[in-house]
Amino acid sequence: MDSDAELNVSDVTQTFALEGLGDSFNAIGYYENGRLEARVAWNRRDRFLQTAVGFGGEPTFVQPFSQIDARFSFAMAPNFSVFAEGVNLANERTEKVGRFDNQILLLEETGPRYSVGVRMEF
């Protein structure tokens, strides 16, 4: 999806803007051999307008961010496997700003998240 529409941050009377529209890039590597599966994904999203009229009538922008995720699994039997996965391995943070980049509204650092488990199919 593409658009030339932009929010003019100096015009406080502008009411139309395309929220959530921004460039994103993804690269995924996947390996499967017999009982072993591995997947690594890199996702990037450029700056985008989250809402044109947010707190105090101000716009909210989400700054560019990237994320790396990985998952590995091993099939112990045809219907039983074990896995390990990690989300946000590079510990990226989410930053939301207002009309200006130094007007920080939210800085969220969730940290990486890991999980291990088993999967059964029947």
Per the structure, the complete domain to which residue 94 belongs is given by 24-120
Residue in the structure block whose two tokens are 């590995």? 72
pLDDT digits (tens, 9 = 90+) for 9-49: 665 555 567 788 888 999 999 999 999 999 999 999 999 98
What does pTM read for this prediction? 0.75
Residue 29 is assigned to a structural domain of this protein:
yes
Asked if residue 13 belongs to a domain, the reply is no
The number of distinct structural domains making up the chain is 1
Residue 1 domain flag? no
Q: Is residue 53 part of a domain?
A: yes
- Residue % of the chain over a pLDDT of 70: 85
In a domain, 89, yes or no: yes
- Determine, yes or no, domain membership for 113: yes
Please report whether residue 98 resides in a domain. Answer: yes
Model confidence at 113, pLDDT cuts 50, 70, 90, reads: very high
CB atoms near residue 13 (< 10 Å): 5
Q: Is residue 51 part of a domain?
A: yes
Please give the full DSSP string across 23-54, using - where no structure is assigned.
-EEEEEEEEEETTEEEEEEEEEE--EEEESS-
